[in-house]
Amino acid sequence: MDDTIVSAFTAALQGSDTVATDKATLAENSKDYWGFGQQPGLVLRPRSRDDVVAAVKIAAEHGISLVTRAGASNCSAGVMAGADRAVIDLTQLNQVLDINPTSRTARVQPGVINFDLQQQLAPHKLVFSPDPVSAHLASVGGNIIENAGGPHALKYGVTYNHVLSVEAVLADGTVINLSAADDGPDLLGILIGSEGTLAILTEATVALRPIAPVTRSLMGSFSTARAAAETISAIIHTGTVPAAVEWLDRAGINGLQQFTDTGYPTDADAIVLIDVDGTAAEVDRDAAIVEKVLRQHATEVRRADDDDARAKLWYGRLHAPTPSCTAAKASSSATSPFHANTFRRCSRQSRTPPNVTRTPCCSSP
């Protein structure tokens, strides 16, 4: 990118290391999780809202497109850079600013990783409901901008249902605050799920919910995907709403098994993982209903009644290895920046629950 523009960004952003044009950083920011993308002309790493404002103003002045990037795990090709574009990497804005157990809210910077927020909430027995399977990679800002859901969406809703207010920077550098309580059109709702097209989110206040006193998990294996789908319908038909429902088809089961011994039946056409939560009495009632329906249709039913058993049952599904792990295994250059980036992402996924044996992601073949 033109030296004048690089100098303008460098002069406007605070601190060292906020503007990068070195090959390694450009390469590291060129691809998304899925391996798509091109090398940007410049990478900006703001440390504050004011840095974001400054970057946006310089970009507007010079007609440079900004590509906002956090976990880069989106499925909508939202972080497509190019030589004439600047990536604005929000991973340095990664602070949980406040957790208020009384009002059950958290104020966060956009680059906070969903999993890290959940870790900080756990001692308060609170949870941020949006739980995309990518929680260990995806930022809360990315969850908001993609309106992410997850296994718990059926009972607890998607990200839209848990955002109370945001601060965001518009394309001309104006800072706006939007709240779910605002009168008039639902502007906050328009921003949620806007896939990076409207504004750069610099802060959010999200709603939390208490962790249910009891959770139990069940798994059904099915000889056909149709039988699995009909079973889920039959469960919903009983009036019981599971806390979480997740599905894996044959290709998914076998794909995961190549990386991790999931323990899932590799001869099944589909498996369904189901959580029920609530008080002990509610869980006894709901688990009995779900188990009865599963046993009518499934070739095998498994139950996990305690946390350890539950962690093992869900582990394979929630720790999907990155496609890049295969690339990393195949790569002969251990020092290339993309390889280093790949290993960093994989190491985030290597949080193994107790008593689970698995093949480490990116281990040598």
Ligand X SMILES: Cc1cc2nc3c(=O)[nH]c(=O)nc-3n(C[C@H](O)[C@H](O)[C@H](O)COP(=O)(O)OP(=O)(O)OC[C@H]3O[C@@H](n4cnc5c(N)ncnc54)[C@H](O)[C@@H]3O)c2cc1C
Give the residue with the Cβ less far from ligand X, 78 or 278. Answer: 78
Q: How far apart are CA 92 and CA 77, in angstroms?
A: 22
Answer for which of 18, 29, 30, 68 binds ligand X (CB under 6 A) is: 68
Candidate ranges 38-46, 194-202, 247-255, 275-283; the one touching ligand X (CB under 6 A): 194-202
Residue 53 found at the interface with ligand X (CB under 6 A): no
Answer for which of 272, 290, 320, 328 binds ligand X (CB under 6 A) is: 320
Shortest CB 171 distance to ligand X, Å: 11
Where does residue 225 rank: exposed (0-12), middle (13-18), buried (19+ CB within 10 A)?
middle
Buried b / exposed e along 176-194 (16+ C-beta atoms within 10 A) = eebebeeeeeeebeebbeb
Give the residue with the Cβ less far from ligand X, 303 or 348. Answer: 348
Candidate ranges 4-12, 16-24, 118-126, 138-146; the one touching ligand X (CB under 6 A): 138-146
Buried b / exposed e along 322-353 (16+ C-beta atoms within 10 A) = bebbeebeeeeeeeebbbebbbebbebbeeee
Candidate ranges 41-49, 135-143, 170-178, 270-278; the one touching ligand X (CB under 6 A): 135-143
- Helix and strand totals (H; E) in the chain: 13, 15
Shortest CB 68 distance to ligand X, Å: 4
Report CA-CA distances (Å) from 114 to 134, 211, 325: 9, 16, 21
Shortest CB 124 distance to ligand X, Å: 23
Give the residue with the Cβ less far from ligand X, 143 or 287. Answer: 143
Residue 206 found at the interface with ligand X (CB under 6 A): no
Residue among 313, 318, 320, 322 nearest 342 (CA): 322
Candidate ranges 42-50, 126-134, 207-215, 327-335; the one touching ligand X (CB under 6 A): 126-134
Residue 139 found at the interface with ligand X (CB under 6 A): yes
Answer for which of 41, 141, 242, 278 binds ligand X (CB under 6 A) is: 141
Give the residue with the Cβ less far from ligand X, 79 or 346. Answer: 79
Residue 150 found at the interface with ligand X (CB under 6 A): yes
Q: How far apart are CA 323 and CA 328, in angstroms?
A: 9
Q: How far apart are CA 30 and CA 41, in angstroms?
A: 10
Residue 78 found at the interface with ligand X (CB under 6 A): yes
Residue among 297, 294, 258, 296 nearest 273 (CA): 294
Answer for which of 118, 143, 260, 262 binds ligand X (CB under 6 A) is: 143
3-state class (DSSP) for residue 196: coil
> Would you give the binding string for ligand X spanning residues 29-48, x where CB under 6 A is met?
----x---------------
Give the residue with the Cβ less far from ligand X, 33 or 128. Answer: 33
Residue 260 found at the interface with ligand X (CB under 6 A): no
E runs forming strands in the chain: 19-20, 42-44, 65-69, 85-89, 96-100, 105-108, 126-127, 163-169, 175-179, 200-207, 209-210, 214-222, 244-249, 270-278, 300-304
3-state class (DSSP) for residue 167: strand
DSSP states of 85-119: EEEEE-TT---EEEEETTTTEEEE-TT-BHHHHHH
Shortest CB 67 distance to ligand X, Å: 6
Shortest CB 108 distance to ligand X, Å: 11
Count of residues touching ligand X (by CB under 6 A): 32
Answer for which of 8, 13, 54, 79 binds ligand X (CB under 6 A) is: 79
Q: Residues interacting with ligand X, by CB under 6 A?
A: 33, 68-75, 78-79, 90, 110, 132-134, 137-139, 141-143, 145-146, 148-150, 195-196, 200-201, 320
